Amino acid sequence: MSIHIRIGKEKLLLLLYFAGIIFVGSLLFSLPFATGSGGMRYIDALFTATSAVCVTGLTVVDTLSLTRAGQTVLILIIQLGGLGIIAFSTLYLFLPRRRISIVTRGLTGDYTVPSFEFRTRRIIAQIVTWTMTLELVGALIIWPTLSNKGYSFFDSMFHAVSAFCNAGFTTLRSGMESFRDNVMMNVVTMVLIVAGGLGFIVLQDIARFVRRKKFHLTYHSSVVLRTSAALIMVGAAFFFVLEYNHAYSEMSSGSKIMASFFQSVTSRTAGFDTVHQAKLSSMAHFVTIILMFIGASPASTGGGIKTTTFYLMLLTALRFREGGGVLVDRNRTIMPSSIFKAAAIVVRAVLIVLVVTAVLLIAEQAHGRSVGIEAAVFESVSAFGTVGLSIGITPTLSDISKIALISAMFMGRVGLFAMAIPPSRLSAEPYTIAPKADILL
């Protein structure tokens, strides 16, 4: 493949891949076999397909109302979406008989780390193998617990795939709320969520470190692990304190701790809940919104602005000194381009959330429904962060609001990635120096 590769074509194929699966999924869900009756309204079918492909978990139709065939289609779509943008990029950029050009290597480098080895088939095999293995192991571990409750192995596998893909869909009656005090179900579900949310690059790095094939983790992996651990711990502490005498008041001390950790973990793009979100306090909703907005890590099954973006913005805010020119962390110099990219991601994310929230408020008011600002922001951030948590307003929303959430899910899952891909044609900007502009900050 020559250096004249058109990046714009790759961006188009990326969008078409996800849009194509959404379209096919929406058609299948609108057919009678999916529900056993007349099928879904197309807007609901489109919403369900988008939520599944973008591994969000917001629902306008109860998953239990789908036939087994409909649930099978749903979990297959979740798996395709859950493999993530990094898997699609790898499959596209490293198709057989294609050589890695300088431009291709540079594009991939934006979503990996410099030490990542470019071995096409091996990378693809690892992504697929690790995904299937972790999901199968998780399903086998929780199978005895679910079997005692009358569930089939299909339900166990469905839950494991949905958890690892951070999707939040479930075929369990009352979802995880019915297993609120079950340690096995909580722990396995949280482990699958965290594993899927760390990213394949980090999982590979950890595996190589454990096997002593390298002496230390990469800076990227270190940032992801430290940030993820801090968010989980701090989030759990907040939920424990805030809900101790509120939503968790009737639980035992052990269950309160477990529920706090589960809420902290699931808020970063998973979508399951052991306590219904409507029962939580407004302050707990605020903490949940922050965690949903941050999301998971790059090259993972989760969404949001990503843990590395949050870390970099926090690092810049706390350590950057006016006139310093450089930012150093753990003896590593942070490139200005990384800071610019992180800032761009945050601003774009905020704009998406603001627009979607405004549309929800206006659309519901026009239909004579009252949706508070708290519920609207919660729903918008949940859609953008591909989380799937809801205070309970999703099924009652108007069609315009559903379209707004569909757009938010697609932008949160695919749009930000697509916008980060360089333009198709070479620009003169990198090779010219424009006059400096003075602006007061």
Tokens 């749009």 belong to which residue?
415
pLDDT classification of 208: cutoffs 50, 70, 90: confident
Average pLDDT, the chain: 83
Mean pLDDT score, 361-372? 88
- Flag whether pLDDT at 95 surpasses 50: no
Of the listed ranges 125-129, 138-142, 263-267, the one predicted with least confidence:
125-129
pLDDT of residue 438: 64
Looking at per-residue confidence, does 405 or 6 come out higher?
405
pLDDT of residue 99: 42
Which top CATH class is 1-112?
A: mainly alpha
Residue-wise pLDDT tens digits, 273-320: 999 999 999 999 999 999 999 998 887 878 889 999 999 999 888 877
| Domains of the chain by residue range | 1-112
Of the listed ranges 98-102, 115-119, 152-156, the one predicted with least confidence:
98-102
Which letter, b or e, does each residue of 13-41 get, where b requires 16 or more Cβ atoms within 10 Å of its Cβ? ebeebbeebbeebbebbbeeebbeeebbe
% of the chain with per-residue pLDDT over 70: 82
Question: What is the dihedral angle through the alpha carbons of 40, 42, 43, 44, rounded to the nearest 10 degrees?
Answer: 20
pLDDT of residue 437: 67
Mean pLDDT score, 223-248? 95
Mean pLDDT score, 84-107? 46
Write down the pTM of the prediction: 0.86
pLDDT classification of 183: cutoffs 50, 70, 90: very high
pLDDT of residue 29: 94
Residue-wise pLDDT tens digits, 123-133: 777 778 888 89
